[in-house]
Structure 1
Amino acid sequence: MRDNIYPYSMLLKSLPFIVILYLALVGGVTAQDSVLVYKTLDSLRAMKDDTSKVDLLAKRGRTFNRYFDGRNAENVFYKDAINLGENIRDYRHLAEIYNEIGTSKRNRSLYILAADYHEKALANAKLAKNDRLISFSYNNLGVDYRRLDKLDKAFDAHFSALRIAEKINDVRNICVATNSIGNIHLSNKKYEEAIRDFAKALQLEQDAGNELGVAINLGNIGYAYQGLGKLDLSIEFFKRSLEANQKINSTTGISICYTCLGAVYQDKKDYNTAKSYMLKALAVNGEVDDQIHVADNYLSIGKLFDEQGVQDSARLYYQQAIDLGRRWGFKSTLLDAYKGMAHSLRESKQYERSLAYMDSLIVYNDSIQTEKNELVASQSETRYNVSRKDAEIKTLHQAQDNEKLRVKRNLAVAISLGVILLMLIVGGFFYIRHRNLEANRQALQLELRSLRAQMNPHFIFNSLSSIHRYIWSNNQEEASEYLTKFSKLMRMILDNSQHTFIPLNKELESLKLYLDLEVLRCNNMFEYHILLGDNINDEEVMIPPMIIQPYVENAIWHGLVHRKLKGLLEISIRLKGRVLECIVTDNGIGRKMAMEIKEKKNKTHNSMGMKVTEGRIALIRKINNTKDANVEITDLEDAKGQPEGTKVTIVLPAEFLF
């Protein structure tokens, strides 16, 4: 079994090859004059409200769809048609309109919205009791789930479409569903079963004289033979598919065939031919809107250079694939891109960076493997228990009520946590104040411990806000990854908070984990380096816990996140005699510009973490009766006097384990 999965297979894993071209609805001629659009709308609005008006609004919506897409505006014809259709309960037209809107969203890579509209289309098709529309809506929904890597749901949707289409002898939807199920078999490397499904779909398309369907299924059979290691047969079918796509001038199909031919020639170690085809695909992809083609193309070229040992070029293309994968949520693409990047870095002896990418790979691999296991069970259950699902209609209102209940419950939990945190802070404050009356030095020690304890809820609040943001924006994968690292950091902070001083290596370990969280939270908008002096034994040198983190946080959120380019954060720790010097340097926008941004946003909040840490350092200075405990902030400027960032120097009395 091969380690690498080429772009064509990635495409087959994340969306059905056939429905890229089958189900994409071509919009009408783009309107050149806004007056024409709204004059047409006004004339339709003057008509009597009935089914014919809904039909005309839907047709004009298709005609002017590109006009509204080009302006990133809502299609008012569709909006009026939906409102009227709901009022008169015209479920058939509602299903057709929702299908068109969903497909339009999918063609712009808005897959979550596409699934939402196609679910509405399916609900209305069922209310209309229109089997053709039900089958078509199921197929559309299956495409969306494939794009979202929800393979178990995709299989259920396409299998339901196939059952209904066969019942009414709807050849078009039979072909779409059969091809899509074949693609799922490809994802599970069941190549013989995939060839059987594709051959059936190919015969139907040939009988119907559908050149597009013929081109698609020829390409799918080519990939299945590639999976079986029959490379010459694979090349034959890909070339036949390319010829068919060129005949009908299908840009997307031509791009896919070029990519697949490049992959097969790479398998044959014919690198020059492989590179030639991949570059042809990249050139064609400039004309394709769906970004998954571009991402997979970058990935395939990266693998080609990697296999040839040209690591710098390989990483360049891997990074472009990763950037697109993160932007659009292509988990399968990210899985291979992370794996390729880790391998390339390891080959270049950059082991630390390679391990970082391997960590990301593990997270995505676990997610996809779990989904594959669930898919096997889902297929078995569907094949041997076809009658398990009733034709029972689930209303959208019930789903909405459940969602509102979930949101209210989560809000109640969040408020409760906030109240508990507030009570802990207030209770801790009064408890420490009471103890401070006993003795001066003991009071200072207790106050220092109180300030250190306040850092924990402060950091927890900020991190919970990030987790809340991920969940609210439906970024479940990112929220899960963030929460895993966050829980590990919380355990470290809770352990460290039991001590006034901890070894420097433990403080640096928690600081690195915190920075990894911030890099994830900020979408890799900056990188960091931690430099340790040669004369420091980080197991023996002691440091107050969480003493550096607030200044690092301040550098990130008031300096680095406002940069247009990727920022750099450097933390340097040096030992000078019995003084420990910690320097936090960033190349952000500087304090002056940060203050201007803050004033423009009318923000009056001051950093709690900074205030608490300044208080802690002041108490350390009093307890040790020394001046060797202070913080100095320096604004950095270039030769022309322009801000170049900020440097924070934290000086502490050196403490040693022995």
Structure 2
Amino acid sequence: MPNDTLKVHRLLAKSKNFFRFFDRRGQENPFLQEAIALSHKIRYNKGLSEAYNELGTAKRNKSQYILAADYHERALRFAEEIRDDRLTAISLNNMGVDYRRRDMLQKAFEVHFRALKTAEKIKDVRNITIAINSIGNIQLSAGKYRDAIEEFTKSLRLEEESNNPLGVAINLGNLGYAYEGLGQLDKAIEYYNRSLAVNQQIDDLKGQAICYNCLGTAYQKKKNYPLAKEYMQKALVINDNDRVKDKIHLAESYLSIGRLLNEENKLEEGRGYIRQSIDLGLHWGFKSILQDAYKALGENFHKAGEYDSSINNTNISLLYKDSLLEEKSTTEFAQMQAMYDVHQKDNQIRLLQQEQDINQLRIRRNLALAIALAGFLFMLIVGGFFYIRHRNLQANRQTLQLELRSLRSQMNPHFIFNSLSSIHRYIWSNNQEEASDYLTKFSKLMRMILDNSQHTFIPLNRELDSLRLYLDLEALRCNNIFDYRIQVAENINDEEVLIPPMIIQPYVENAIWHGLVHRKEKKGRLDINVSLNGKVLEVMVTDNGIGRKMAMEIKEKKDRTHNSMGMKVTEGRIALIRKINNTKDANVEVHDLEDHGGQAAGTQVRIKLPAEFLF
């Protein structure tokens, strides 16, 4: 499918490159036809919209406006089906030009207005400009010159902002037409000159010739015949240039000068220019030029008093007029016949596609049934395997959770024993008031611990509250030989993040009793930092105590047989959490800190746990 759409775009690109080659030979563009056929086959609506737009424009350039409108309407339908606003705006603008060429001004206005609104929605400046310029041309054709000026002024501003000199030249010329229609000839001449300057800047000979003819016509209306002829002669020179391939413009220049000379009563000289226009019309088959030229020649003879020649030439003009009308009717009939043939072919393609779709659906249905049956059998086997495996895993998980609950229950009497020991020391020292204060805080802490111990996980703020209470008790017990700070990262909502209860306390206790109490200089410092890195909760316990090595030496001197129950139980809990969650994120890392001289400067414990959340 992607390769097919790529092929469609390559065919469209070739179609544009070889457009003039096939157009000059009067042949259909095979690349365009192949792009349409392939797009129909793969149902690529974007390709169809672009191709039908190209085909419609090609027909319009041959004055086949009925066919052009039909193709552009198809392009619009496919663009709307895929909701492509850019292609929709392009198609609507193309349809508007088709209708305007057929003098269907109201319908042209409606589709250009739709194009304008669609282009404005997506800020498509190119199509906004085209729509506004086209609406201006409709107003110009309808004789609404002031409305036309308003639209052309908007279009001019957009072309200037887009740095499009050709568009600037066209809009300046259009403004000239509108002011000429209002009879403001000086204003019209001003705009024609500005348009001429831009056309000269971009070396557009066709644009220059149009401007010279417009200037000539404007000066003719002002009765400034010498200047009018001068500009018309300049247009004639350009149109006689080999770079201007369409000789109809040369015939128009001869005819314009002939009419000007008729008006000046320079009849013999005017007759010469008109006959040159007729010669070109006969040679190239320009029937519309021949109609106008014979009419002008008839008027020339009428002014000269040669009435027989005048009647003869007028009759020839009328014959060409009749021929053009008949040709127009024949062309329109041929276009309608071509439309009918194309619609018939489209219906055949649609029926074939429907039949193909039905066959594909049958094949897919049979294949789906076979796959479904095979899949059912496979899922039955796999489901049975995973059911047995899940049942075994559940049993293992329940066993691990029972072990974890057992370890957690061991944690509470261990902590209570240590705390009662502290109360005993306070009472022993005969400090009854502080003992009472200590006992009050201790009872509050006991309630919190008993509440928390009922749960596998508790909110982080409750764990930290109990930890603060514990640290306050230990600070009292140790005569405030250390300060502590608990810091929670800003990206943590401590009411939603969950943590196993009493998981931090043993490491804090260890930092106090094996590190900070043995400091001899300065006050101790204990930092507890909680952070969340992805799905891992990290708790950092940092002290500036004596370090593990010296603590071990002191421990060996005092009591070789004592082991830290709290640390062992907590390590066992973390190991079980790692097993239950099947993760490597649950672990504890201990680092010895050193100062610049390499002396022990404390200990840092990093506790890593899988992040759990309340919601």
**TM-score, normalisation: structure 2:** 0.46
Higher relative contact order (CA 8 A, sep 6+): 1
Rg (Cα) greater in structure:
2
